[in-house]
């Protein structure tokens, strides 16, 4: 598969690549669809870029999520992409385990994280959204990442979990530290992860004594009814909900608004539809924004447990396999005109939320937040525009996530 194409393989993980990885992914899809590469951390891994292979890999039980299967575990760092993650601490979360443990934990959290709970949360998401926009609406300019996309999901998930309001700004600071450095474990990041984890362990303890109407209390209750959720598992679960639900949603809002500001026809179409009270274009539009420039560029780590063949490529047992969702979702073999943003796109089975048993648990919450954020912003600030040229925008260069560092905008006179 890696044999001598006309053009040399593009350089991956450079600054240009972080800004616009799509041309490189198009090349890989065509010339080396299951591609061996050395990651910036020095770890070697396979990148899977075609839609059909990606979907197959995400559902393939021969690919384990357990880092113990990695042939080079001794040298590999940050395998789930969670900065500051340390072996014994947070390992027992959903994205690091296989059945039957995964099945048991996922069942427990699904009992607590119900569609009813998410639906009941809609008014609070709207209130948070409005409050954040109130903070800059009169100013004529804002950085939509720092003032909007970043705080909204952190306050939302804190509320849902049952973190008291007076403690939520601490979470905002810890999460800010994690996202700013978004990559390898550095001092500040590791400290923030530790503080967050310590806080959650204590909160779980308090909720056990004094349960409330919140997700953490429901997680504890689910474990108290004959099934087994240890305190460590509960803390790891709360942490993964926070972690998996935070930066992803920041990027859904940031990347989504960015794409709409660059495609004025699509954005006007959405604004017209919202003004007429329509919700259909908003619903298909969020899915299209996830496909077109989604928050999760690569699915989290998987490891071959046996020798296997994927997309015609032999993969050895112990090799890491990274499914490139951003490449699969632009595969012309699956999506007509994949590089075109079409908010009304139908038959849009994108992989932005993954596929198979690890399919995103928080998709209903992400959709709620994404729809509320975009609809409210475009309605309240109808003439929103970028304050800098797109070439001046900086993307965070992490391995797993794709998102902007800042999104300076102007509006009003």
- Phi and psi for 267 in degrees, rounded to 5? -65, -40
Please give the Cα distance from 196 to 181 (Å, whole number): 16
- When the beta carbons of 342 and 369 are compared against ligand HEM, the nearer one is 369
List the structure tokens of 128: 């948070």
Min dist. Cβ of residue 7 to ligand HEM (A) = 30
Least gap, CB of 291 to ligand HEM (angstroms): 10
Supply the minimum distance, in Å, between the C-beta of residue 406 and ligand HEM.
19
Shortest Cβ 370–ligand HEM spacing (Å):
6
Beta strands in 116-225 (DSSP E): 141-143
Nearest CA-CA partner of 79 in 25, 41, 35:
41
Q: Counting Cβ atoms within 10 Å, is residue 13 exposed (0-12), middle (13-18) or buried (19+)?
A: middle
CB-wise, 47 or 241, nearer to ligand HEM? 241
Helix (H, G, I), strand (E, B) or coil at 280: helix
Q: Give the nearer residue to ligand HEM in terms of CB position, either 27 or 156.
A: 156
Tokens coding 352 = 């932005």
Q: Which is nearer to ligand HEM, 10 or 348 (CB)?
A: 348
CA distance readout (Å), 235 to 32, 162, 381: 41, 13, 39
**In contact, 49 and 29? CB cutoff 8 Å:** yes
- The C-alpha R_g of the chain, in whole angstroms, comes to 21
Taking the complex as a whole, how short is the minimal distance between the CB of residue 157 and ligand HEM, in angstroms? 5
Maximum CA pair distance of the chain? 66
Residue ranges binding ligand HEM (CB under 6 A)? 58, 94-95, 106, 157, 240-241, 244-245, 248-249, 252, 290, 294-296, 299-300, 352-354, 358, 360-362, 365-366
**For ligand HEM, which is the closer residue by CB, 47 or 296?**
296
Hey, is 320 helix, strand or coil? strand
Phi/psi at 296 (5° precision): -105, 105
* Shortest Cβ 146–ligand HEM spacing (Å): 19
Alpha carbon distance 272, 348 (integer Å)? 22
- If residue 134 lies in a helix (H) or strand (E), which one and from where to where? helix 122-134
Residue closer to ligand HEM, measured from CB, 223 or 249: 249
Dist. CA 295–CA 289, nearest whole Å: 9
Q: Which residue, 45 or 244, has its beta carbon nearer to ligand HEM?
A: 244
Q: Is 368 exposed, middle or buried (0-12, 13-18, 19+ CB in 10 A)?
A: buried
Q: CB of 352: closest distance to ligand HEM in angstroms?
A: 5
**CB closer to ligand HEM out of 267 and 358:** 358
Closest approach, Cβ 244 to ligand HEM, in A, equals: 4
The CB-of-239 to ligand HEM minimum distance in angstroms stands at 10
Q: What share of the chain is helix, strand, coil (3-state, %, to 5)?
A: 55, 10, 40
Q: CB 229 → ligand HEM: shortest distance, Å?
A: 14
Choose between 325 and 378: whose C-beta lies nearer to ligand HEM.
325
Smaller CB distance to ligand HEM: residue 220 or 289?
289
**Using CB atoms, what's the residue nearest to ligand HEM?**
362
Strand 385-386: give its sheet, edge to edge.
141-143, 408-410, 385-386
Min CB(282)–ligand HEM separation in Å: 15
Closer of 108 and 409 to ligand HEM (Cβ): 108
Closest among 55, 57, 8, 54 to 31, alpha carbons compared: 8
CA distance 315 to 304: 7
Q: Using the Cα atoms of residue 225, residue 226, residue 230 and residue 234 in order, give the sign of their dihedral.
A: negative
């Amino acid at each position: 598969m890696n044999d001598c194409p006309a053009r040399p393989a593009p350089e991956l993980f450079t600054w240009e690549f972080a800004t616009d990885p799509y041309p490189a992914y198009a090349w890989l899809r065509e010339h080396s669809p299951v591609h061996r590469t050395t990651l910036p951390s020095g770890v070697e891994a396979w990148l899977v870029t075609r839609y059909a292979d990606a979907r197959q890999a995400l559902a393939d039980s021969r690919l384990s999520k357990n880092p113990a299967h990695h042939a080079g575990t001794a040298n590999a760092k940050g395998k789930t992409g969670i900065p500051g993650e340390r072996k014994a601490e947070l390992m027992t979360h959903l994205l690091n385990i296989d059945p039957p443990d995964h099945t048991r934990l996922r069942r427990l959290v699904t009992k607590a994280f119900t569609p009813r709970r998410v639906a009941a949360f809609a008014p609070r998401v709207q209130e948070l959204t409005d409050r954040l926009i109130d903070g800059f609406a009169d100013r004529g300019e804002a950085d939509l990442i720092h003032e909007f996309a970043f705080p909204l999901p952190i306050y939302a998930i804190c509320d849902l979990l049952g973190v008291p309001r007076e403690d939520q700004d601490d979470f905002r600071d810890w999460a800010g530290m994690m996202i700013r450095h978004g990559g390898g474990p550095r001092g500040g990041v590791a400290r923030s992860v530790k503080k967050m984890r310590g806080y959650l362990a204590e909160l779980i303890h308090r909720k056990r004594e004094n349960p409330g109407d919140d997700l953490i209390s429901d997680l504890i209750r689910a474990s108290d009814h004959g099934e087994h959720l240890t305190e460590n598992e509960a803390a790891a679960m709360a942490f993964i909900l926070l972690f998996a639900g935070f930066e992803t949603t920041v990027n859904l809002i940031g990347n989504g608004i960015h794409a709409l500001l660059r495609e004025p026809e699509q954005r006007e179409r959405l604004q017209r539809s919202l003004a007429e009270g329509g919700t259909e274009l908003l619903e298909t539009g969020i899915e299209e924004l996830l496909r077109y420039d989604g928050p999760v560029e690569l699915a989290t780590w998987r490891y071959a447990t046996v020798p296997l063949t994927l997309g015609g490529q032999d993969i050895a047992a112990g090799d890491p396999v990274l499914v490139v969702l951003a490449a699969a979702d632009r595969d012309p073999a699956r999506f007509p005109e994949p590089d075109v943003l079409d908010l009304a796109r139908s038959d849009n089975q994108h992989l932005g939320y993954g596929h198979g048993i690890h399919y995103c648990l928080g998709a209903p919450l992400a959709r709620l937040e994404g729809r509320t954020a975009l609809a409210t912003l475009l309605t309240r600030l109808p003439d929103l525009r970028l304050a800098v040229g797109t070439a001046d925008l900086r993307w965070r260069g992490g391995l797993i996530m794709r998102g902007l560092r800042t999104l300076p905008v102007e509006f009003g006179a």
